[in-house]
Amino acid sequence: MMKQEELFHLFLDNMLDAVAVYEVSQEGKPLKFMEANEQMCRYIGYTHEEFLRMQPADIRFECFNITPALWQELLEVRYLLNEYVYKTKDNVSVPIEIHYHFFQLDGRNLIFLTIRDISERKKAEENQRRLEKDLNLSSRLASVGALTAGVAHEINSPLTSILGFSERLARKCTSEEQHRDIERIHTEALRAAKVVDNLRTFARSYEQEKKLCGLNDVIRKSVELREYELVVQNIVVELELAENLPSTLMDFYKIQQVLINMILNAEQAMYQAHGRGRLLIKTQDMGNYIRMIIEDNGPGIAPEIAERVFDPFFTTKEDSRGTGLGLSVCYGIIMEHDGKVQLESKLGQGTRFIIDLPIKNSRLPRKKSTKVVVVKVNAKTRAKSPKSLPQNPPD
């Protein structure tokens, strides 16, 4: 029959948690180790025999130290739970949970210490927080969408009348001064119409026209639409597009809207900060999904602003160019495609948007793409005539 001591050691060594028992003085000062399991020895980096010969003070592991406040609390409640970040010998930070059980045996004060690795739990909690943040943002977008649909409808009718009558007045007007005033009215009404159109796009709920498309094609056509403005503003565009990138189901024009929005934002930020800039757009085959990175060398975004860039109506643009709907619409479109969008930015170091789109309806077996085609668009590229571009590119 197995002896009690052997059974005790078998029990300890098969625990997933690291366990040690050590004696403390009447003041809570660690005196000596009484027992430890194999998991604890692995944490500390010694054999079982070496560990038991050591004093707690010899080990650079703060959880063995009992502060006066901790000792006083242990005397009162007998059990405490703390969290601590432990650094391994390889300088790897490991979040751990420490359980202190205080008990007395044969007149000695003993601490039964349990250490639990909570790395996976911390990752799960972080994922949960990220999901809740995405859910809250989606909920806000849905609420604002319902409101903006009504507002856009009410504004659109009188706005149509203003545009129509201003055109009629302009045709009848003979005075150059009055014609300029009417033209100003018409221009401002067009700007308001663009805001309304953004509102309606933001609020619209419809069946998407998803087809099998190549993301590289969407990128090329989007850059072509902005090519003239990019060249005029000294923005060099670098395309690093992975060859043989798998096609996926997407709404071509919606993804193009996302791209043009982000290109336009980067373009304005770089030109305003430096009068020039570099815009990098790259694609990567990540296996189950396609990654698109849009990176600029603009002024960057402060952390407190970065947290709000996808919020509806939030804008940092002081002039009339910003409606605060562009990135909200982008976020909604990517979510509709079951994708993800991340923002990475530091002040003075530029901004990077990372968009992941799942690969759907890819029927044929394929090899993962590794080659990259690099294309540059700069001031030496032949600029297109402005007339060949849309008069009102998406915001």
Domain residue limits, the chain: 4-117, 119-205, 208-384
Give one word for 17, left, alpha or beta, with left for phi > 0 and alpha for psi -120 to 50: beta
The per-residue pLDDT for 390 is: 33
Residue 394 has pLDDT above 50, yes or no: no
Closest CA to 159 of 126, 131, 197, 129: 197
Query: Alpha-carbon distance 215 to 193, whole Å?
Result: 30
pLDDT per residue as tens digits for the range 257-291: 899 889 988 998 899 888 899 999 999 999 899 99
Closest CA to 22 of 68, 70, 57, 69: 57
pLDDT per residue as tens digits for the range 180-225: 889 889 888 887 887 777 666 655 555 557 889 999 999 998 888 7
Helices (H), the chain: 4-13, 38-44, 48-53, 68-77, 119-172, 176-203, 215-232, 252-274, 303-306, 326-336
The per-residue pLDDT for 203 is: 58
pLDDT band at 89 (very low <50, low <70, confident <90, very high): low
The per-residue pLDDT for 220 is: 92
Query: Alpha-carbon distance 334 to 250, whole Å?
Result: 10
Is residue 267 within 8 Å of residue 230, measured between CB atoms? yes
The SS3 assignment for 185 reads helix
Instruction: Specify whether domain 208-384 bears CATH 3.30.565.10.
Output: yes
Report which listed range, 19-23, 86-90, 132-136, 327-331, is most confident.
Answer: 19-23
Q: Percent of the chain having pLDDT more than 90?
A: 19
Mean pLDDT to the nearest integer, 35-42: 84
pLDDT band at 107 (very low <50, low <70, confident <90, very high): confident
The letter for the amino acid at 187 is: T
Burial 31-47, CB ≥16 within 10 A → b, else e = eebebbbbbbbebbebe
Fold category of 119-205 in CATH: Helix Hairpins (1.10.287)
Report which listed range, 5-14, 169-178, 335-344, is most confident.
Answer: 335-344
Lowest mean pLDDT among 79-88, 153-162, 368-377: 368-377
Residue 341 has pLDDT above 80, yes or no: yes
Instruction: Specify whether domain 4-117 bears CATH 3.40.50.200.
Output: no
pLDDT band at 389 (very low <50, low <70, confident <90, very high): very low
Residue 381 has pLDDT above 50, yes or no: no
Report which listed range, 89-103, 127-141, 197-211, 308-322, is most confident.
Answer: 89-103
Q: Percent of the chain having pLDDT more than 70?
A: 76
Report which listed range, 7-21, 33-47, 211-225, is most confident.
Answer: 211-225
The per-residue pLDDT for 297 is: 92
The per-residue pLDDT for 190 is: 84
Average pLDDT of the chain, as a whole number? 79
Report which listed range, 56-65, 171-180, 240-249, is most confident.
Answer: 240-249
